[in-house]
Structure 1
Amino acid sequence: MITMKQIAERTGVSVSTVSLVLNGRDKGRVKSEIARKVRNTAKTLGYRPNPMARSLRTSKTGMLGFISEEVATTPYAGAIIQGAQDAAAERGYVLLTVSTDGGIRESEQIQALKRYGVDGFLFAKMYDQNVDLPQALRSCPAVVVNAVERANRCPSIAPDEFLIGYDATRHLIESGSRRVAYLGTTQDLPAQEDRMRGYQTALKEAGLPASQALIRLVGFNQEAMDQTNDLMDDQHPDGVFCFNDSRSFYLYQAAAARHLVIGRDLNLVGVDNHQVVAETSAPPLTTVELPHYEMGFWAVRRLLAQINPRRGALPLPDTRAVLPPLDQAGGVRIHCALIRKGSTRLDATSDLVPASR
């Protein structure tokens, strides 16, 4: 195991100088060329900080608590955890993940993480919603993920639901659709309201009808199929924005029954970039990708900025959905990426379309 003493001997400086540099406290104390030499030597020798020693020195454990409500068991939302782990690892942190039921068990899990001495918390939800940060977390560094903290007690990050509806509908319009329908959900979700508002705004800007007759809110199974058939027969849409990828399944069936070709006679755009639905449909479904990985990554970066504000921030990486600035106050909404795959006339080739207004 490489020690600071060995690095000091190799670079010809004191151990205290090496300590300042490797702990990010060299600014204004150590000449930049010396600091650079120390970092390069540490990298060449394969130096790894000792978490136990750092914990004793800084009163920090190098651990972050990730509290989720079903996120850990949701296949595509599991990318939130991956993003959080990647960002934590960059700074030498370990992520402790617990799954809760949102009730008594949640409080027990929070207390367990506190006993481990975690330095901060990520509080994640399975879907975008308004939440209250648990009382037990209000005195701790915390970031809410995939939801909005109702009272703005801490930073939060969630998808920009309005732009999801707006970008999807604009893409349908640009693909030649003039009667654009919306196949939504019967669930009472904030995302439903905002996506529909984006859908209606895009239609209004284009001078196209946004009548209630073109909107269907459906559940699942035969009831959803019946309403989809009713929409197709009564309104004859040439484009449909679906609340999620799963609901597009009913449009594929309805189109086949009417000998309509998806991407020619009927344009479709979904939401989720769900691997099973979006990739196995024929043609593959054009969809707005929910930025689970990006939200997890940004949330850890934001949390670490709270824990140690004096430590320099790493540059944000390039991701499919552009990460918002870390210094943005309050609740942050992330602009999602439209993934072109084949279900609209514009989708001759799979491509990533930078969403913009």
Structure 2
Amino acid sequence: MPTTPRSRPAPSGRVTAAMVAERAGTSIATVSLVVNGKDRGRVSTPIADRVRDAVEQLGYVVDHAASSLARGSGDLVVLIAPDLSNPFFAEVIRGVRDTIGDRFQLVLSVTERGEQPVDADVRRFERLRPAGILVDAPAEHASMAASVPVVLLDAPGGPGAVNYDLTAGVEALVAHLAAAGHRRVAYLDGTSRATTFAVRRALFGQACVSAGISVSQLEAQADLTIDAAASAVGQVVDAWLADGVTAVVAAADTLAYGVLRVAAERGIAVPAALAVAGFDDLPSSSVTAPSLTSVALPGAELGRAAALRLLATLDGVDAPDPALPTRLVPRASTGA
């Protein structure tokens, strides 16, 4: 009758790959392939099973930092973003994770709330020698140079950046407002230092000039949260209406949600008295009351394109250079 091998107690102190290899009756290289998920097609199933059993019996934990130092580069990819609680960044993360698959492990880092990633954030993770670093919406003028490959996301003008082509989406939004009869609008900006917000504001202003729409000089801006946006809008909405504003465009959907909240609280009919639109097309934008018109910026596609560029760089092949398309999704908040 076959007997099950008895598990001896794990050795005291740190368990090493050599101990796992000895227990499994194989080499350290084979252990490395199995524990890093790279055994498919390279290690037979019985041997891989023996390694996994040994890992479980001994309580072996991979020290990624030490492995990185030993090899000169790691199997980690770091994604630095300014706000992981925002649904947009959740989509970016999904796109990155689905693309790198099991080849690399994804590590997430969030900066201080409201702060865009800066050079110091890259240097902090550079010391771990990851395979590469992805930086979403970095601060304007940050170089993000490092000794490992760095790919910037949504960073117009940034070296090696993966960006949206905002022109088509912005022009479609302004044309939509003009067709609805709007001739004076307001813009709710974000306090973010990311270059992408400056580009959105500039393109919107240019498109309004071309369409014969004037933008109110009564400025408002807020952190990218609903509460902050509602607070800022509450202080200026009456002045906007007195100034002849009939539509408000927000730099992000979360800001637009704040406009909708204030309108509901003040009894301002949307879109009859005030149309509202945003940027991002977050999942919630289809279920707000009323549903929000938005310029769609596909987060998952941004993450996927950035991951593909990083993988191409690591593999020494030409990196794709896409300008991700944007489009308008008209909804009830502008009378669509």
Cα deviation 1:283-325 (Å, max 9, x = unaligned): 1111123322111101122222223356xx9xxxxxxxxxxxx
Indicate which of 70, 74, 79 corresponds to 2:91. 79
Per-residue deviation, 1:83: 0.6
Kindly indicate whether the alpha-carbon contact (under 8 Å) linking 1:64 and 1:93 is maintained by their aligned counterparts in 2.
Answer: no
Kindly indicate whether the alpha-carbon contact (under 8 Å) linking 2:185 and 2:249 is maintained by their aligned counterparts in 1.
Answer: yes
| SS of residue matched to 2:332 | coil
Indicate which of 291, 296, 299 corresponds to 2:306. 299
Indicate which of 201, 217, 220 corresponds to 1:217. 220
In 2, Cα distance between the equivalents of 1:335 and 1:70? 23
Code of the aligned partner of 1:341: R
Q: Give the equivalent residue in structure 2 for 1:99.
A: 109
**How many percent of aligned residue pairs carry the same amino acid?**
20
Kindly indicate whether the alpha-carbon contact (under 8 Å) linking 2:122 and 2:133 is maintained by their aligned counterparts in 1.
Answer: no
Indicate which of 226, 231, 235 corresponds to 1:226. 235
Kindly indicate whether the alpha-carbon contact (under 8 Å) linking 1:67 and 1:98 is maintained by their aligned counterparts in 2.
Answer: yes
Code of the aligned partner of 1:84: V
Code of the aligned partner of 1:292: G
Provide the aligned C-alpha RMSD in A.
Answer: 3.6
Alignment of 1:104-123 (within 5 A): 106-114=122-130, 118=131, 121-123=132-134
Q: Give the equivalent residue in structure 2 for 1:179.
A: 184
Kindly indicate whether the alpha-carbon contact (under 8 Å) linking 1:107 and 1:136 is maintained by their aligned counterparts in 2.
Answer: no
Instruction: Give the paired residue count.
Output: 260
In 2, Cα distance between the equivalents of 1:99 and 1:80? 13
Kindly indicate whether the alpha-carbon contact (under 8 Å) linking 1:149 and 1:156 is maintained by their aligned counterparts in 2.
Answer: yes
Provide structure 1 residue ranges, at least 5 long, that are not aligned to the other structure.
1-46, 53-58, 314-325, 348-357
In 1, Cα distance between the equivalents of 2:303 and 2:252? 21
Kindly indicate whether the alpha-carbon contact (under 8 Å) linking 1:182 and 1:240 is maintained by their aligned counterparts in 2.
Answer: yes
| SS of residue matched to 2:271 | coil
* Residue 337 to residue 206, structure 1, CA distance change in 2 (3 Å): closer
Code of the aligned partner of 2:144: L
Kindly indicate whether the alpha-carbon contact (under 8 Å) linking 2:189 and 2:251 is maintained by their aligned counterparts in 1.
Answer: yes
Kindly indicate whether the alpha-carbon contact (under 8 Å) linking 2:164 and 2:324 is maintained by their aligned counterparts in 1.
Answer: yes
| SS of residue matched to 1:112 | coil
Per-residue deviation, 1:189: 4.4
Per-residue deviation, 1:235: 1.8
Indicate which of 197, 200, 205 corresponds to 1:200. 205
* Residue 191 to residue 228, structure 1, CA distance change in 2 (3 Å): farther
In 2, Cα distance between the equivalents of 1:182 and 1:303? 35
Output the TM-score relative to the length of structure 2.
0.64
Deviates more, 1:70-79 or 1:195-204: 70-79
Cα deviation 1:14-49 (Å, max 9, x = unaligned): xxxxxxxxxxxxxxxxxxxxxxxxxxxxxxxxx943
In 2, Cα distance between the equivalents of 1:61 and 1:51? 23
Alignment of 1:49-198 (within 5 A): 49-50=41-42, 63=75, 65-70=77-82, 72-89=84-101, 93-99=103-109, 101=111, 106-114=122-130, 118=131, 121-126=132-137, 129-137=140-148, 141-148=149-156, 150=158, 152=159, 155-161=160-166, 163-198=168-203
Cα deviation 1:251-286 (Å, max 9, x = unaligned): 43554467553234432211123344x244211111
Provide structure 2 residue ranges, at least 5 long, that are not aligned to the other structure.
1-38, 45-70, 112-117, 223-227
Kindly indicate whether the alpha-carbon contact (under 8 Å) linking 2:174 and 2:211 is maintained by their aligned counterparts in 1.
Answer: no
1:270 paired with 2:309, answer: no
Code of the aligned partner of 1:268: V
Indicate which of 290, 293, 299 corresponds to 1:283. 290
Per-residue deviation, 1:60: 11
* Residue 204 to residue 301, structure 1, CA distance change in 2 (3 Å): same
Q: Give the equivalent residue in structure 2 for 1:343.
A: 333
In 2, Cα distance between the equivalents of 1:266 and 1:224? 13
Kindly indicate whether the alpha-carbon contact (under 8 Å) linking 1:71 and 1:99 is maintained by their aligned counterparts in 2.
Answer: no
Output the TM-score relative to the length of structure 1.
0.60
